[in-house]
Structure 1
Amino acid sequence: MGDPVTLTPAAAGLIRSLRAAHGPLMFHQSGGCCDGSAPMCYPAGEFRTGSSDVLLASLTVEGVPEPVEFWMSTAQWELWKHTRLTVDVVPGRGSGFSLEAPEGVRFLIRSHLAR
């Protein structure tokens, strides 16, 4: 099936920039009603994961010394487990809690059925 989560070049570039400013990073995708397709980017360890979350990927980004973990709520993963997810960047303001919010862009998940 391949990796369940991949990055576009634009997302990788933004991750490099955010890593330089904030240190090691992580993503969490909650599937909430408002930002269901917008993964949140946090300093690594700032968002506490638990038994209701699953680690989908440890993303390797050229120029970033450590993997960037991508977590998702188990309930959301149950809905999306037959898809491949691509983290992309689009213009617009994301959540105020996600590190990219002040940049005028937001991370976005593009999903397609796994084959």
Structure 2
Amino acid sequence: MSVFWVIDTKAKIFPESSYEQDGSKWYYGRSIVPAGSIEEAIDLLRSALKDKYVEVESVLSIVDYSHQTWDSEDDELFETIESYEKSKTHHEVVTGVFASGMYLEKE
């Protein structure tokens, strides 16, 4: 049985990516990954992001969505609930939203 994992990452987005970029060195993302284990979830996310020209520098946190410990001030920015609904419906990795380091520093 799969668990829906909420994974926060620090990543580098390459110019070939379709993600919006502003020249930041790092981008922070929150994705939803259905998987049987944390290790599997991280592997699936890395693979999905690689296909989108994104390289994970580090995993900042990973929690089970159902525990709702992922809730934070940044939740609306990262569209966690919307990403979860999409992941649940299609049972697939939803790479979610990436916010630039420069943007977050302004906040």
Please report the TM-score for the alignment, with normalisation by the length of structure 2: 0.29
Higher relative contact order (CA 8 A, sep 6+): 2
Please report the TM-score for the alignment, with normalisation by the length of structure 1: 0.28
